[in-house]
Amino acid sequence: MPLVTLVVPGRLETHTGGYIYDKRIVSGLRARGWPVEVRELDPGFPSPTASALAEAGQVLSAIPDRSIALVDGLALGAMPDHAERERSRLRLVALIHLPLAADAGLAPEVATKLRTSEQRALACASLIVVTGACTRSALAGYGVDPERIALVQPGTDRAPRSRGSGGATLQLLTVATLTRRKGHDVLFRALAALPRHGWHLTCVGSLEREPDTVAALRGCLRDEGLESSISLAGDVDDARLEDYYLDADLFVLATLHETYGMAVAEALAHGLPVVSTTDPAIGELVGEDAGLLVPPGDAAALSDALGRMIGDAGLRARLSAGARRVREQLPSWDAASDRMAAALRRVATGG
């Protein structure tokens, strides 16, 4: 098996869905006998400084000839010149969680620039691995031949059923980096319209990715008088995150767009009822029996769904039973690693 070099911006240990995916795939490939090395770039991608971009070029240049360079899309899409230079020497594989131009809140001119850059870079890839079906569909607009795309969705670990809070105050949980795309502002507005008793929300996720977004969210909590009702826990380790899932009564994610929805899958694996959005990836996971879904960005509809769930123990119990049925169908990380190994084998053999 040829050497596989995973190239990622920032630290592989970062606690976000994309990095967790990358880390689990590395572990799975190594367990299957693939030699895998990891090269970490400056965390500023997809908006690197000139020096960070030059350093990334040096990293690619140091990868041995004819080996597989599995490059996370956050980096590859921002370095088309390097991709074009290396395409004949390396077996470039793009790992795309979300097209760069599809991120929320981008100015039109920025989105256009990112789309052009990523389209050039993807043209150099022998294979494009996507982690969600919606990403595969989105790449049709980039002129990518569907035969060059492999779908490798995330896995989900088996998990014990949530025990719930067991108290008079329902524990709501959301797990997502505090960025514009995750819709925390919509969630906070939705909760502000509800009575301030009988529930508490814990937000787990990095507070460092978009400082301006976090500052605005803190201001919202202060202005709406929600500081005692909503806690920003920041990044937590795996053991603490598991405790949050086990103690929760309800999982909520106000995301505007997802490629898969790993946190929702984790909630379902714990048998938690879900309140989220009708984003296609979320809808595919939750279905009709495990949660209530509302249009992305609709604070009023989200408030209504949360109010129903908080006030109706029978509804929560019914949807929790649905979540337990769904969790039996969730794919495993072993299955994801098998699919990735099969995709890379195609590249290694020239398929």
Q: What is the mean pLDDT of residues 318-333?
A: 95
The number of domains in the chain is 2
Is residue 181 one of the residues assigned to a domain?
A: yes
Per-residue model confidence as pLDDT tens digits over 43-69: 999 999 999 999 999 999 999 999 999
176 and 322 together in one domain? yes
Which pTM was predicted?
A: 0.90
Per-residue model confidence as pLDDT tens digits over 110-127: 999 999 999 999 999 999
> Which range marks the domain in which residue 227 is found?
170-327
Is residue 104 one of the residues assigned to a domain?
A: yes
317 and 338 together in one domain? no
> Which residues touch 2 (CB under 8 Å, ≥6 apart)?
35, 66, 67, 68, 91, 348
Angstrom distance (rounded) from CA 266 to CA 155: 10
pLDDT at 104 over 80: no
Specify whether the CB–CB gap between 97 and 71 falls below 8 A. Answer: no
pLDDT at 257 over 70: yes
143 and 191 together in one domain? no
Is residue 163 one of the residues assigned to a domain?
A: no
Pairing of β 250-252 and β 36-41 = unpaired
Specify whether the CB–CB gap between 201 and 252 falls below 8 A. Answer: yes
Specify whether the CB–CB gap between 282 and 261 falls below 8 A. Answer: yes
* Residue 105: per-residue pLDDT: 77
Angstrom distance (rounded) from CA 242 to CA 162: 9
Per-residue model confidence as pLDDT tens digits over 266-304: 999 999 999 999 999 999 999 989 999 999 999 999 999
What CATH number corresponds to the domain at position 295? 3.40.50.2000
Nearest to 92 by CA among 101, 102, 82: 82
192 and 281 together in one domain? yes
Please name the amino acid found at residue 204: V
* Residue 16: per-residue pLDDT: 85
* Residue 351: per-residue pLDDT: 62
* Residue 75: per-residue pLDDT: 96
223 and 179 together in one domain? yes
197 and 265 together in one domain? yes
**Among all chains, which residue has been given the structure tokens 């937590």?**
236
* Residue 187 Cα distances to 194, 209, 253, 277, 306, angstroms: 11, 19, 8, 11, 10
Confidence tier at 331 by pLDDT (50, 70, 90)? very high
Is residue 162 one of the residues assigned to a domain?
A: no
Ramachandran assignment for 66, one of left (phi > 0), alpha (psi -120 to 50 degrees), beta (any other): left
313 and 337 together in one domain? no
145 and 174 together in one domain? no
Angstrom distance (rounded) from CA 252 to CA 264: 8
Per-residue model confidence as pLDDT tens digits over 219-239: 999 999 999 999 999 999 999
Q: What is the mean pLDDT of residues 205-224?
A: 95
Q: Give 144-185 as a DSSP string.
A: --GGGEEE--------PPP----SSSEEEEEE--SSGGGTHH
Per-residue model confidence as pLDDT tens digits over 88-102: 999 999 999 989 988
Taking the alpha carbons at both ends of the chain, their separation in whole angstroms is 15
**High-pLDDT (> 90) share of the chain, %:** 87
Q: Which phi and psi (to 5°) does residue 155 adopt?
A: -100, 180
